[in-house]
Amino acid sequence: MTERIVSFVMSGGVGSRLWPLSREDNPKQFHDLSGDGSMLAKTLRRLTARPEGETPIFLIAAERHADRVHADLAGLELAGGGPLFEPTGRNTAAAVALATLRTLSEFGDSLVLVVPSDHEISTPRQFWQSVEAGTEAARSGRLVVFGIKPTQPETGYGYIEVAAESGGTFDVSRFVEKPDIETAQSYLKAGNFYWNTGIFLFRAVAMRDAFIAFQPDIWLATEAAYRAATSDLSGLYMPLELYAAIPSNSIDYAIMERAKDIAMVPAGFRWNDLGSWQSLLDVGPADDRGNVIIGDVVAIDCENSYIRSDGRLLSAIGMKDIAIVSTSDATFVAPVSHSQHVKKIVEQLEKSGRLETRFTPAHDRVIESGA
């Protein structure tokens, strides 16, 4: 019998690397970036596509996005799952602790799969084949991560260094944060580094024990918020004062960089985290000159550029390797090779108290939701 896998989608991110399109009130997981539905809806559909086995599907999302979440959940069979709403963001360690608590309380020591909501994975069958390949290691009590063999020296991803391999599963030596270009080139040449997809598989008790060993404050605070939660047909809601008390940390820093005997399964699916305008240029429908053109755009003599208008006419001449993204209240222009640095713009705007990083103009939201 195929083992139950309780699946959780983390949907609390802001996606500031895709500003000005992605903002606090309208982050990238709710955008249709490739023409076949929002990133969140596609992630949920991928999880429902497991060929066999019980797969309850839960969603961990910001309470302020509840209406958007319910719209994307419409018509999907979650097999007993549903949304868990965070009253405020506390990073991915809290989300994983919440997923573990929910699983233990409802399904016992089951396998847990945690995935981001905003990654492009275009091969659901291969996705589930890769997940199933990690179940034996997870069942034995190991925390399992999934890595992508690098195809170029990418500075926008975290890396996983691996050592010994057994039966298609590698031992993890260490996790490495986003490198500079020279370091990324050395990783590519070394051959034993993989991109970190941020997808995790584990037994609920194994993750609980890791939190108690390495981050008891996060575990206890999350448990207190979860125990005080209220539920109705729309989802589970936790008290703000208790959830806000959870220390904010990423699951990589809090647990994965500290735990021992972590296993990595090489992912057999096509993957892109769509975390930059460069990545959207890489996966978008390009014309014969390598441009991805979206919206009301006139482009002449442009090459290998991502040019997007979400409103008025945008015209460009002679652009090469450039990202131009225009909304009704902001425009971003940069070489696509520098598009990872858009967060610097966002940080400067936030320091100035500008609202363009947080709010999408109301008429833009209406246009998108009606598309």
DSSP letters spanning 81-111: --EEEESS--HHHHHHHHHHHHHHHHHSS-E
Q: What DSSP character marks residue 303?
A: B
Who contacts 115 (Cβ-Cβ below 8 Å, separation ≥6)? 7, 8, 9, 10, 43, 47, 198, 199
Please report how many Cα atoms fall inside a 13 Å half-sphere around the Cα of residue 248, on the Cβ side: 7
Q: What DSSP character marks residue 270?
A: -
**Residues 141-147: what's their mean pLDDT?**
96
pLDDT of residue 363: 52
pLDDT of residue 366: 42
Who contacts 179 (Cβ-Cβ below 8 Å, separation ≥6)? 155, 159, 187
Who contacts 353 (Cβ-Cβ below 8 Å, separation ≥6)? none
pLDDT of residue 203: 97
Residue with tokens 């006139």: 298
How many angstroms separate the CA atoms of 44 and 31, rounded?
14
pLDDT in tens, 202-251: 999 999 999 999 999 999 999 999 999 999 988 999 999 999 999 999 99
DSSP, collapsed to helix, strand or coil, labels residue 222 as helix
**Residue type at 164?**
A
pLDDT in tens, 146-185: 999 998 888 888 899 999 888 889 999 999 888 888 999 9
Nearest CA to 302 out of 288, 283, 316, 286 is that of: 316
User: What percent of the chain is modeled with pLDDT above 90?
Assistant: 60
C-alpha distance across the termini of the chain, in Å: 43
Record the tokens describing residue 145, joined without a space: 């991560």
Query: What's the pTM value of the predicted model, to 2 decimals?
Result: 0.89
The answer to whether residue 268 scores a pLDDT higher than 90 is no
Alpha helices in the chain (DSSP H): 39-48, 66-73, 91-107, 124-133, 135-139, 181-190, 204-214, 216-227, 240-243, 251, 277-283, 342-351, 362-369
Domains of the chain, start order: 5-272 (3.90.550.10), 277-369 (no CATH)
Would you say how long the chain is, in residues? Answer: 371
pLDDT in tens, 32-84: 776 677 889 999 999 999 999 999 999 999 999 998 899 888 888 888 899 99
Q: Over the chain, what is the mean pLDDT? A: 90
pLDDT in tens, 329-356: 899 999 998 877 888 888 898 898 888 8
Instruction: Please tell me which residue, 124 or 111, carries the higher pLDDT value.
Output: 111
